[in-house]
Chains A and B, each alone.
Chain A
Amino acid sequence: VTALLSLAWVFLPLSLVAFGGGNTVLPDIQRQTVLVHHWTTAQQFTEMFALAQAAPGPNLMIVPLIGWHVAGLGGLVVTSLAKFGPSSVLAAAGVVVWERYKDRPWRRRVQAGVVPVTAGLVAASAVTITVATLAGPMTLWLSVPVVMVVALLATGTRVHPLLLLGGGALVGLLGYVL
């Protein structure tokens, strides 16, 4: 029960501040999961994140995965509710009041002001996950090029993300076998 409470305590507040989507809260999820609660190691966290990225559907499916990892089915339910509940209630309320404030200048200023913070948080996610990756079992001679090549391909071309993830896994495997 303590584990369930800590899971809820970690993910409930994050649900409400995840402006700009789930990836903005990823560094804090990592900090709390790895540094504060020691539910996983940094490497495990990165691999779970990668698994969650390989699954279909919304971003940040790592959250229910952490819940499952920590406390089984109960953890899964608690983290799912904590992650999707509060922001969804807020979204529902938002739809109702949206019409009223749509064209107010302060709304545009707030929206534009939040953008750099969102971008910074996504960049922080990339830094956190990349650093954890480079500390993993793969040699740097392989992991650094994989990160860079995938980043370039995903930015400059329309290659399917799943293909890039599969390619990364293949490189990791071949690097060990050969």
Chain B
Amino acid sequence: MDETGSAPSPALHRGPGIGPLFLGFLTLGITGFGGVLPLARRMLVQRRQWLTADEFTELLGLCQFLPGGNIINMSVAVGMRFRGWRGALACVCGLILVPTAVVVGLGVLYSRFATNPYLAHAFAGLAAAAAGLLTSLALRTLAPLRRSPVALVIVLVTVVAIAVARLPLVPVMIGLAVLSIWLRPLDRPERAAASPSSPAARP
């Protein structure tokens, strides 16, 4: 294997190669039903020990701060850390390869049998359950905000703008994010869900 590596900035200590990175995330993509993140932690920290628990938490914080799925960003970050952009590419491809094949297979089945009334109703039931899962995710996301009134107002405005008025996402999101950041000091800082124990929030 080549050792050019194009090291970005962090140290290439005990780093796994491109092949193991690809295989690790391939496995993760196959096994991760309904929420890959807990599994990712188990693989990266416990089983393969590519990251310490602290490194994992720090990278996760970065991934949550960036746009895109957390687990996708995590795979990019891990690949980048050990093997530069080639590593990142290997990790992302490994992660999405099997799920993409599976989802296309399901889609083919769906389009072939969607007119069958039995399957149509089974699909409708599946969809209702998926809506329930999403509702649960929304409730869990909202839970840490329940005691900060400003945040709840932002939540409400967001829901109305996106789900009721069906306004385009990009302008709504930018506008409300700026508003929310500007209004942040009105809520007590310790309620800030994403950043625990930060006494430094005084710009």
Given known pairs A64-B104, A109-B184, A168-B132, the reply for A122 and B141 (CB within 8 Å) is: yes
A167 CA to B29 CA, complexed, in Å: 23
- Near A by CB (< 8 A), chain B positions 76-99 give 76-77, 80-81, 85, 88, 92, 95-96, 98-99
Pair A51/B103 contact, Cβ less than 8 Å: yes
Question: Chain A contacts of B106 at CB under 8 A?
Answer: 51-52, 54-55, 65
Q: How far is the CB of B30 from the nearest CB of chain A, in Å?
A: 6
Stretch at the interface among B15-23, B45-53, B147-155: B147-155
Interface residue tally for chain A (C-beta within 8 Å): 114
Partner of A88, one of B34, B68, B174: B68
Describe B's contact surface by its main secondary structure.
helix
A145-178 CB contact bits vs B (8 Å, 1 = yes)? 0111111111100001110110111111101110
- Near B by CB (< 8 A), chain A positions 90-127 give 90-92, 94-96, 98-99, 102-103, 105-127
Pair B72/A161 contact, Cβ less than 8 Å: no
Q: Does B4 contact A (CB under 8 A)?
A: no
Pair B169/A14 contact, Cβ less than 8 Å: yes
Question: Chain B contacts of A88 at CB under 8 A?
Answer: 68, 72-73, 76, 88, 92
A50-82 CB contact bits vs B (8 Å, 1 = yes)? 111111111111101100110000001000100
Query: Looking across the interface, which residue of chain B has its beta carbon closest to that of A36?
Result: B168
Pair B62/A98 contact, Cβ less than 8 Å: yes
Pair A47/B177 contact, Cβ less than 8 Å: no
Pair A169/B125 contact, Cβ less than 8 Å: yes
Pair B117/A176 contact, Cβ less than 8 Å: yes
B188-201 CB contact bits vs A (8 Å, 1 = yes)? 01001111001011
Interface centre among B64, B77, B122 (most CB of A within 10 A): B122
Question: Chain B contacts of A106 at CB under 8 A?
Answer: 203
- Near A by CB (< 8 A), chain B positions 116-155 give 117-118, 120-142, 144-145, 148, 150-152, 154-155
Q: Could you list 14 examples of A-B contacts with CB < 8 Å?
A: A20-B64, A46-B131, A56-B98, A57-B30, A65-B103, A87-B66, A92-B76, A114-B177, A115-B145, A137-B120, A138-B121, A150-B133, A154-B132, A176-B117
Residues of A in contact with B (beta carbons under 8 Å apart): 13-25, 27-28, 31, 35, 43-44, 46-62, 64-65, 68-69, 76, 80, 84, 87-88, 90-92, 94-96, 98-99, 102-103, 105-133, 136-138, 142-143, 146-155, 160-162, 164-165, 167-173, 175-177
